[in-house]
Amino acid sequence: MHNEFHRIKRLPPYVFEQVNRLKAEARARGDDIIDFGMGNPDMPTPKHIVDKLVEAVRDPKTNRYSASKGIQGLRRAQAAYYDRRFGVKLNPDTQVVATLGSKEGFANMAQAITAPGDVILVPNPTYPIHEFGFIMSGGVIRHLPASTDSQFMVSLDKAMRHSVPKPSALVLNYPANPTAVVANRDFYAEVVAYAKKHDLIVLSDLAYAEIYFDGEPPGSFLEVPGAMDIAVEFTSVSKTYSMPGWRIGFAVGNERLIQALTRVKSYLDYGAFTPIQVAAAAALNGPQDCVEEIRGVYRRRRDTLVDAITRAGWPIPSPPATMFAWAPIPDMFAHIGSLEFSKLLLERASVAVAPGVGFGEYGEGYVRIALVENEQRIRQAARNIRKFLTESANELHNVIPLAPKATRTL
C-alpha cells in the first residue's frame, strides 16, 4: 500500500539496501565483515564532552522540553566557532539554529524554501539528502558536476539559462561527500558573484570542515563578502568530535533563510535533549586538541588504506579531506558496474564498500571507502582484496574464448 503514497513514489530504490542486506546475511552466517560502507565514526567521543553530558543529565531541569532552535549557549558557541575558525561574525539569535544533525537541518530547509516544481541545482555524485530532501519537498532536480573546475561554472550557467522555471537554489558540498574534492576561496567568490546576479539561494554543506589532511584548512562559503546575503551553511559535530549518534548540527547564515528554517522546525520538533546540547556547547567551547587527535587518526587510516590496497593491486587515490576515499573500481570489473562489484567484494573478500551509483548516476564506476576501521583491519582488508583480485584474474585467464566462426567463401 505504501507504494501508492505520492512522496514515496518519487523516491528511487535505495541502492545501498542491496549491499546492506548481503552484509547482514553474511554476518548472520558468522562471517567477519570489514565494513567500509557507512560513514559512521567509530572513535569514542572525547571524555570531557561525555563528562559534561553526565553532569547536565543529573540536573532534573534538563529533562523538560528544549528549544527547537537550540539553547542560547549552544548557538553562542557555534557563533564563536565561526568567528575564530573562519573570521565570520554571526548573530546567535538570528543567524544560527541548532538542528538534529546537519542531515535533518538540510531536509527541513528544503521544506522551508521549496514550492512544487521549483528547480534545484544539485551536484552529482553527492550525499543523497542533497537531492532527496528537495524531491520529497516537491522540487525538481537538475544536476551539476561535483567539481570546482571551469566546467562547474559552465554547467551552472547552462542550467540557469535553459531551465524552466528558473532555478531557485544551488547546493554545494565541499569538502565533498563522496568525492573528497575541496573548494578554495576563489571558487566560492565566483559562485557568490553569479548567485547574487541571478537571485540564487546557495546551501553549503560544510560537515567535513575539520577533517582535512593536505594543504590549507577548508574555508567557509560565508567567508566571501556578499555570501551572507544569499546563503546558509550546514555543519555538524558528528565527525569533528566523533559524536554521530548525538545528532547535533547547525545551520548558519542569511537571517531570512534561517528564520524560515526555524519556523518549519518549530512545528516539527522540540530540539535535541538539553544535556546533549550542553555537551555540544562544551565541545565547541572547550579544548580543541581532541579535534587534531581525531584528524590524526583519520590521516593515518587514509595513508594505511591508500598504501596497503594500492600495493594489493587496486590503486586508491589519496583523498585530501573527509573520512572517505573515492576509488575507481578495478579495470577488470568495469563492465559490471559499482553495485555488482560491491556485492562481489563483500561475497569474495568480506569487505563492504558503498557503490558509487548510490550517490548519483555520475558516481557509476566508483566506490566510496569510509575510514571507519582501524589500521590493523585495513591491512587485513588489503590482504583479502589481494587474494580476491588474484583469484579473479586467474579465473578470467582460464576462460577459453570461443573460436570465431569460419568465414563463408562463395
- pLDDT at residue 3, as a whole number: 58
- CATH fold of 48-287: Aspartate Aminotransferase; domain 2 (3.40.640)
Q: How far apart are CA 362 and CA 121, in angstroms?
A: 15
Query: In the chain, what percentage of residues exceed pLDDT 70?
Result: 95
Residues in Cβ contact with 223 at an 8 Å cutoff, skipping those fewer than 6 apart: 86, 87, 88, 185, 188
- Asked, as a colleague might, if the bond just before 125 is cis with ω within 30 of 0, I would say yes
H or E segment and range at residue 324: strand 324-328
> Rg (Cα) of the chain, in Å, rounded?
23
Give the model's confidence band at 289: pLDDT under 50 very low, under 70 low, under 90 confident, else very high: very high
- Report the pLDDT averaged over residues 300-326: 97
CATH 3.90.1150.10 domain position(s) in the chain: 6-44+289-394
Residue 319 has pLDDT above 50, yes or no: yes
- Report the pLDDT averaged over residues 386-394: 93
Helices (H), 29-136: 47-57, 72-86, 101-113, 129-135
Strand duo 231-236 + 249-253: pairing = antiparallel
- Please tell me the number of Cα atoms within 13 Å of 97 on its side-chain side: 32
- pLDDT at residue 301, as a whole number: 98
Residue 402 has pLDDT above 90, yes or no: no
- Report the pLDDT averaged over residues 374-402: 85
CB atoms within 10 A of CB 122: 26
Residue 390 has pLDDT above 60, yes or no: yes
CATH 3.40.640.10 domain position(s) in the chain: 48-287
Q: How far apart are CA 96 and CA 164, in angstroms?
A: 33
- pLDDT at residue 395, as a whole number: 78
Residue 119 has pLDDT above 70, yes or no: yes
Query: Do 110 and 234 meet the contact criterion of CB atoms below 8 Å apart?
Result: no
- Which of 10-14, 198-202, 234-238, 392-396 bottoms out in mean pLDDT, i.e. has the lowest? 10-14
Kindly state which CATH superfamily the domain 6-44+289-394 is placed in.
Answer: Aspartate Aminotransferase, domain 1 (3.90.1150.10)
DSSP 390: H
Residue 277 has pLDDT above 60, yes or no: yes
Residue 258 has pLDDT above 80, yes or no: yes
Q: What are the tens digits of pLDDT across the range 325-334? A: 999 999 999 9
In the chain, % helix, strand, coil (3-state, to 5) comes to 50, 15, 35
Q: Enter the C-alpha cell of residue 118.
A: 521549483
- Report the pLDDT averaged over residues 333-341: 94
- pLDDT at residue 21, as a whole number: 87
- pLDDT at residue 7, as a whole number: 81
Q: What global pTM score does this model have?
A: 0.92
- Report the pLDDT averaged over residues 143-159: 92
**Residue 75 burial (CB < 10 Å; 0-12/13-18/19+)?**
buried
* pLDDT, averaged across the chain: 93
- Report the pLDDT averaged over residues 165-172: 97
Q: What are the tens digits of pLDDT across the range 71-103? A: 999 999 999 999 999 999 999 999 999 999 999
Between these two residues, 150 and 276, which has the higher pLDDT value?
276
- pLDDT at residue 11, as a whole number: 78
Give the DSSP letter string of 57-75: HTSGGGGS---TT--HHHH
Q: What are the tens digits of pLDDT across the range 59-71? A: 999 999 998 999 9
Give the model's confidence band at 2: pLDDT under 50 very low, under 70 low, under 90 confident, else very high: low
- Report the pLDDT averaged over residues 96-113: 95
